[in-house]
Amino acid sequence: MSLNKATVTGGAVLVAFTLSLGIAFTSQRGLVGRDYTLVDVAFEDIGPALRVGNDVRSNGVRVGQVRDIAGKAGKARLVLQLDGERPVYRDAKAFVDARSALGQKLVQFDPGTPAAGRLPDGAVLEPGPAGNATDLDALLAVLDEPTRTALAATVRTAGRGAARHAEDLNDLLGASPDLLEDSARVSRALSAPEADLDTLLTTARTLSQRLKGREQELGDLVREMDVNLGDLAVDDGAPLDSTLERLPTTLGETRKALVDLGRPLDDLRVTAGGLRDGGAALGDSTADIRATLRDVVEPLQDVPGVAQQALPAVDGLTGLVTDARPLAPKVRRAVTLAATPLDVLAPYSPEVSLWFAYASDALSEGDKNGHWLRLNTLANSESFSGAGPLGTTLPDPITSRNAYPAPGEAQKQTTSGQPR
């Protein structure tokens, strides 16, 4: 019996549908003809949320799935099915992690390092150091019954409120790109080094700690601000608008004034430091000052008598100064005229001092005839030629001397005329 075309097509569709169902129900154990790497891992407890077919991830990337879950010797045994041929080493690690806040789980897997060597076939890995993830229901179980009931009521109320504001939520989602862009701009501004967010948060925490216990004062301040803002709203806020228009210029001038104030404040800081040191020194010397003031009383009592005796001498000095006043211009002129020769003689001050020393030595003792000074003429070739021997221009190596030695050179010449 021949089959018509509709029957053949229906049979083919039925076979394809059956094959699709078979693949769907067996896909969690892998596809036929594809290579996999199987790894056994032991856990103390994995919780009820981890199931066969859940993801196995490495560094956030899906690398396989959970092939089988079984219990053995009080522990849970997982068989991880990794896609393809993958090397697994002895220091490999695996732990159960939360995929979402609703309790979904996955297995994080680290294949290890080649330095540890390949994991032998049939070896079982122990759970990684991160341990097992906590389920949301286990976390909520920590709360007592009234708290859980109140939390459920809050969730239901929030859900009903969100349902009533669905249109508002849609508007919020529609405006979210612009809001996110503004949030990104604000985040970049806050994370910039110029913002110094750490210092701002530290200062805010310090400020909040200082304001603690002053709630009543803050309330009074807010009420006063309400009154002041009401006053600013007079005439539809025209005075406030005018003030805000001028505010940038005022702030710029204020900033410049504060910058200019920096140097005086630095000087004031240095001065204050000096005053602090001076105050400390004054405090240390208080006892000495007290003793000095106590001992100075008696000498001060003698001052009037000394002053009375000094009056005639002071009167005489007054007359002397008055008589010497016409002499002052002449003395000043003499000093001015003497400046030039003194500048010339200044480099020869050692020789001048030596000349007076020789003169003092010559006049210090007389001879037996009572003569105190004797002049002798010492003649040599220089006395006749004024230059070298026998009128030559070459210096006499025995008796030649420099007639005009430089400052300090005369003492260095010996009697033979040669430098020492």
The dihedral sign for the CA sequence 256, 262, 267, 269: positive
Render 355-415 in DSSP notation, one character per residue.
HHHHHHHHTT---TT-----------HHHHHSSSGGG-SSPPTTT---SSPPTTTGGGB-T
Q: Which residues pair with 39 in a beta bridge?
A: 80
Cα dihedral: 353, 359, 364, 366 (round 10): 170
Measure the CA–CA gap between 40 and 77, rounded to whole angstroms. 7
Sequence spans of domains, the chain: 33-140, 145-188, 213-260
From first to last of its 420 residues, the chain has per-residue pLDDT tens of 455 666 667 666 666 666 665 555 555 555 555 788 888 888 777 766 778 888 889 888 888 888 888 876 557 788 888 888 888 898 888 888 877 666 678 888 888 899 988 888 878 887 654 344 555 556 666 677 888 788 878 888 887 877 777 788 788 878 888 888 888 888 888 788 887 888 888 888 888 888 888 888 888 888 888 888 777 777 777 777 888 888 888 888 888 888 888 888 888 888 888 888 888 888 888 888 888 888 877 777 777 777 777 777 777 777 767 777 777 788 788 878 878 887 877 787 777 777 777 777 766 666 666 666 666 665 655 555 555 544 455 555 555 566 667 777 766 765 444 444
Place of tokens 């040669």: 418
Question: CB count, 10 Å around CB of 138?
Answer: 13
Q: What pLDDT shows up at residue 10?
A: 67
Burial of 325 (0-12, 13-18, 19+ CB in 10 A): exposed
Measure the CA–CA gap between 358 and 243, rounded to whole angstroms. 92
| pTM flag (> 0.75) | no
> Between vectors from CA 268 to CA 265 and to CA 270, what angle results, nearest 5°?
115
Q: What pLDDT shows up at residue 1?
A: 46
Lookup: tokens for 103: 């309790």
